[in-house]
Amino acid sequence: MRKAMEDDPKVLIMGEDVGKLGGVFRVTDGLQKDFGEDRVIDTPLAESGIIGTAIGLALRGYRPVCEIQFDGFVFPAADQIITQLAKMPMRSLGAIKLPVVVRIPCGGGIGAVEHHSESPEAYFTHTSGLRVVACSNPADAYSMIQQAIRCDDPVVFFEPKRRYWEKGDIDTSSAGWWTPFDAARVVRPGSDATLLAYGPMVKTCLEAAAAAEDDGRSLEVVDLRSLNPLDEAVIMESARRTGRVVVVHEAPVYNGFGAELAARVTEQCFYHLEAPVLRVGGFSTPYPPSKLEEHYLPDLDRVLDAVDRAFGF
């Protein structure tokens, strides 16, 4: 974000505690000191207000990057995101653009209390007019946020909060940024089955694939990166080649984003599949208290169990 703010004086950061505190995850640490209170705006505590005023700033030519403090707190802002941010450009027949980024630390695994560990992506992938992306590693976090901020469409940007503490090499060259942020990526090639994942589950799937290798199975891991739009070419090519697909995400399986993936893969790769597309995810329950979250969240064993089932058909 610092890079984006240096590149474009119209980029603003806004949200609760993003200034002096640097955000509750310290993602915006030091930005207010360097760019001032007019560009790094500590807002009142009201999520609808954050998105609604960001829309107004975007109408005036600014590029606001909003931080929603935790996933479960995006719902007070859902009205502004769904009825206004997503649809206003179409309402104007293209006369206006709304380059607003909504950053949402998402997912569980950090031992938090209720409303701090959810995966609300399906609500937003269901809304036309939004781009929805999820980064899974430090390099993509850097590259994708640059592109999200430069994008003239509204972007909902999911950041897996339990991956915040990971370190990795970052390609700061322009070539690095412009790996299209709506492109999926095969992060581990394989030949026997495909694991489709995004955000926090990419790392889990990579661990599962490494473990499966010991059992003589070659699993391919695809990081979707963008959930809307979807890079179908990469997904379908992998599905056709391996013939088995397991979708992994943290959100509840029922009516979750995996349902869309399963439907699309089945529709387009039916004659190539050796097994139905299987899904691994959260249960049809509210996110549980943290002492239970290890059972709720898909882990290496649950992913491998699904792979076993895929081979059982």
Partner 1 sequence: MTLDASRGAHDEAPPELVQLLTPEGERIEHPDYDVDLTPEEVRSLYRDLVLVRRIDLEAVALQRQGELGIWASLLGQEAAQIGSGRALTDSDMAFPTYREHGVAWCRDVDPVKLLGLFRGVNHGGWDPKEHNFHLYTIVIGSQTLHAVGYAMGIQRDDANAATIVYFGDGATSQGDVNESFIWASVFNAPIVFFCQNNQWAISEPLEKQTRIPLYRRASGFGFPGIRVDGNDVFACLAVTRKALEAARTGQGPTLVEAFTYRMGAHTTTDDPTRYRVAGELEAWKLKDPIERVKAYLFKNELADQEFFDSVDEEAAQLGADLRRRCLALPDPRPLDIFDHVYREPHALIDQERAQFAAYLEGFEK
Q: Could you list the active site residues?
A: 116
Kindly tell me which of 80 and 119 has the beta carbon lying closer to partner 1.
80
Residues touching partner 1, count (CB under 8 A)? 46
DSSP output for 237-289: HHHHHHS-EEEEEEEESTTSHHHHHHHHHHHHHGGG-SS--EEEEE-SSPPPP
The smaller minimum CB distance to partner 1, of residues 81 and 297, is found at 81
* Using rule CB under 8 A, residue 156 touches partner 1: no
Residue 246 as a binder of partner 1 (CB under 8 A): the answer is: no
Q: Are 280 and 303 in contact (CB under 8 A)?
A: yes
- 91 near partner 1 (CB under 8 A): yes
Minimum distance from CB of 242 to partner 1 (Å)?
A: 22
Confirm or reject binding of residue 38 to partner 1 (CB under 8 A): yes
101 part of the interface to partner 1, by CB under 8 A: no
Q: Binding to partner 1 by residue 96, rule CB under 8 A?
A: yes
Sole binder of partner 1 in the list 60, 267, 270, 312 (CB under 8 A): 60
- The least CB distance from residue 160 to partner 1, in Å, is 24
Beta strand pairing status for 131-134 and 226-228?
A: antiparallel
Name the token pair of 70. 């935790």
Instruction: Give the residue from 98, 115, 223 showing the smallest Cα distance to 156.
Output: 98
Q: Is the peptide bond before 229 cis (omega within 30 degrees of 0)?
A: yes
Q: Which is nearer to partner 1, 127 or 137 (CB)?
A: 127
CA distance 141 to 156: 13
Taking CB under 8 A as the criterion, the residue among 40, 54, 68, 235 binding partner 1 is 54
Alpha-carbon 168 to chain mean position = 18
Task: Give the largest CA-CA distance in the chain.
Answer: 60
* Interface with partner 1 (CB under 8 A): 38, 43-44, 46, 48-49, 51-62, 76, 79-80, 83-84, 87-97, 128-129, 131, 151-153, 182, 228-232
